[in-house]
Amino acid sequence: MNIGVGYDNQKNSFSCGVSVAEKASKCFADAEASFVFAVCCNKHDHESYYKGLRSVLGDSIPIVGGSAVGVITKDDLSYEGYPAGAVVFQSNTLKCNVQWTSGLDKSVKQVGIDIAEKTEWSDKTPLFFFYDSIKKAASESSPPVMNSSVPLLNGLVNSLKKNITIIGAGLIGDFSFSLGKIFTGSEVVPQAAVGFQLLGDFEIQSRIMHGCTPLDGVYHTITKAKGPVVFEVDSKPIAKIIDDIYGHKLWRKDNPVTLVSLGVNHGPRYGRPEEKNYLNRLIVGALPNSDAVMLFEPDLSKGDEIQFMLRDSEEMIQSVKTNTETLFSDLTNEGKEIIFGLYIDCAGRSKCMSKTDREEAGEVQDIFKHQNIPLFGFYSGAEIAPLLNKSKGLDWTGVLTLFYR
């Protein structure tokens, strides 16, 4: 199987699409591409970019993907300017099954159900699943309204007749949470979700990169919440508790809140904290004129026990390095040949959002560069990967998926 990656950052969306497609398909000359996963930022006109890709790759090949804040490849990393990229698979034996549906703005759960029921999904390979994260764009007076991964995945997982690993992302096209688009394989559609499976002479394994650790280990109970909005913890306004943690109120202007998140420990209550046991929830922002906060996902409710989590950039970078190296060594020790890496990285982990000196994704790039293996990644809103044996919507994580033989 040939896998080519293309990246460009030019302003003209159509030309950008042409350039990305040409770069990605360069390595397999005249052979017809089999499958494309492509993204572009929201500064681009998605339709023009899509047409640019099509003009090079032809009309029949499925092009799946959509909005992304930025693009990560082995050699490039950018969320500034007009980033766009694609990975093109070419194989005579590759089989792909692509299904999509729209209507996230009407019923998120139904979209999950529809995707599950559209086809007989295989349990031999993961189901890649991508959806439009933003239901309503952020405005000056309120944070954005998100399409929640919880009912979506519930709808999807519960309707799948088999236990299938789901890997994917909620897509966003910029840091200001404007409305995005989904490439469904054959169209450019808003408020949509797309699922696909790739079946070929390869296997797939993924790992979650964390970066959040318990702030102080103290357990708190949510005492008032509605949907994604948490009002009170331990019967105290949550924003006031966070004010106390920071020592100021400046954090309330951050969208999302960059240092503190909420975590649910699914591991031993008083054991050594293991990041793989934690489900973290990103705080999108403080609600204006209120002491409540809005979470990226609405899956925390009254009575849930949470811990305040600290997103420590150094630990995040260390986690990426360690996990990537471990995954690589595990597979190579088993005599596997890694042929491609897909890195779905939370936009909040980027250097500009983490306020770090270096890019966390740089650690992933370094390893792929060193091994000279194609890498395609992008910055997302929410990540989907199996946590504690169940596919969940995740925040603040990076999900590295390796294709190997």
Partner 1 sequence: MKMSDISNNDIISNSQATSIQKQELEYYRKLAVQSGKKRVREIDLLARLNTELNETKDKLQYRVELDKKVAEISKRFLELSEDNPNYTIESALKILAEFYNVKHCFILEVNSDEQKVMINHAWCWDEFRSTLQPSVIHPQVCDRINEIFTDTDALSFQDIKSISDRVLHCLNSGFDTKTALMRPLFSDGIMCGFLGFEGFKSLIWNNEDIAFIGTISDIFNNAMERKRLAFVQEKLEEQIQIRQRIDSLGSLAGGVAHDLNNLLVSIIGNIDIVINYDSGIGEKYKNNLAKAYKSCQRAASLIKELQAFSKGTVSKNTTLDLYTIAKNVFDILDRTTHVFIEKKLCIKADSFFVHGSEDMLHQAFFNIGTNAIHAIEERGSRPDDYIRLSAEKYRISCADETGLPAGDYIHIIFEDNGIGMTESVKAKAFDPMFTTRRSSFKGQGLGLAMVYNTITQNHHGAISINSTVGHGSVFHLYLPAVENIEVPEENAEINSSGGSETILVVDDDQSVVDLIVEVLELYGYSVISAGDGEEGWQKYREHRADIDLVLLDLVMPKMSGGEVFDKIREITPDAKVILSSGHSENDLHQVMNVTGYLTKPYDLQKLTQTIRNALEHE
81 binds partner 1 (CB under 8 A): no
The one segment of 202-210, 246-254, 281-289, 298-306 that binds partner 1 by CB under 8 A: 246-254
29 binds partner 1 (CB under 8 A): no
Q: How far apart are CA 40 and CA 78, in angstroms?
A: 11
The tokens describing 192, both together, are 């949509």
Q: Which is nearer to partner 1, 145 or 245 (CB)?
A: 245
**Of residues 72, 134, 259, 293, which one binds partner 1 by CB under 8 A?**
259
**Of residues 244, 305, 337, 366, which one binds partner 1 by CB under 8 A?**
244
CB of 38 to partner 1, least distance (A): 25
Q: At what angle do helices 46-57 and 13-25 cross, to 10 degrees?
A: 40
The tokens describing 174, both together, are 């910029």
216 binds partner 1 (CB under 8 A): yes
258 binds partner 1 (CB under 8 A): yes
**Of residues 183, 251, 379, 396, which one binds partner 1 by CB under 8 A?**
251
The total of other beta-carbon atoms located within 10 Å of residue 264's CB is: 16
The one segment of 117-125, 142-150, 244-252, 387-395 that binds partner 1 by CB under 8 A: 244-252
**Of residues 91, 101, 149, 313, which one binds partner 1 by CB under 8 A?**
313
Q: How far apart are CA 71 and CA 51, in angstroms?
A: 19
SS3 annotation, the chain: CEEEEEEECCCCHHHHHHHHHHHHHHHHCCCCCCEEEEEECCCCCHHHHHHHHHHHHCCCCCEEEEECCCEEECCCEECCCCCEEEEEEECCCCEEEEEEEECCCCCHHHHHHHHHHHCCCCCCCCEEEEEECEEECCCCCCCCEECCHHHHHHHHHHHCCCCCCEEEEEECCCCCCCCCCEEEECCEECCEEEEEEEECCCEEEEEEECCEEECCCCCEEEEEEECCEEEEECCEEHHHHHHHHHCCCHHHHCCCCCCEEEEEECCCCCCCCCHHHEEEECEEEECCCCCCEEECCCCCCCCCEEEEEEECHHHHHHHHHHHHHHHHHHHHHCCCCEEEEEEEEEHHHCHHHHCCCCCCHHHHHHHHHHHCCCEEEEEECEEEEEECCEEEEECCCEEEEEEEC
Name the nearest CA neighbour of 263 among 294, 303, 307: 307
The one segment of 24-32, 107-115, 350-358, 370-378 that binds partner 1 by CB under 8 A: 350-358
The one segment of 64-72, 106-114, 252-260, 287-295 that binds partner 1 by CB under 8 A: 252-260
**Of residues 310, 318, 331, 386, which one binds partner 1 by CB under 8 A?**
310
| Number of chain positions touching partner 1 (CB under 8 A) | 22
305 binds partner 1 (CB under 8 A): no
Q: How far apart are CA 290 and CA 249, in angstroms?
A: 12
The one segment of 168-176, 212-220, 317-325, 395-403 that binds partner 1 by CB under 8 A: 212-220
CB of 254 to partner 1, least distance (A): 10
CB of 245 to partner 1, least distance (A): 5
CB of 310 to partner 1, least distance (A): 6
CB of 259 to partner 1, least distance (A): 6
Q: Which is nearer to partner 1, 169 or 259 (CB)?
A: 259
Q: Which is nearer to partner 1, 203 or 315 (CB)?
A: 315
The residues, any chain, with a CB within 8 Å of residue 113's CB and separated by 6 or more, are: 155, 156, 158, 159
The one segment of 125-133, 163-171, 215-223, 382-390 that binds partner 1 by CB under 8 A: 215-223
357 binds partner 1 (CB under 8 A): yes
Q: Which is nearer to partner 1, 12 or 154 (CB)?
A: 12
Length of the chain as a residue count: 405
Q: Which is nearer to partner 1, 125 or 213 (CB)?
A: 213
245 binds partner 1 (CB under 8 A): yes
120 binds partner 1 (CB under 8 A): no
CB of 216 to partner 1, least distance (A): 3
Q: Which is nearer to partner 1, 306 or 400 (CB)?
A: 306
Q: Which is nearer to partner 1, 159 or 246 (CB)?
A: 246
| Contacts to partner 1 by CB under 8 A | 214-218, 244-247, 250-251, 258-260, 308, 310, 312-313, 354-357
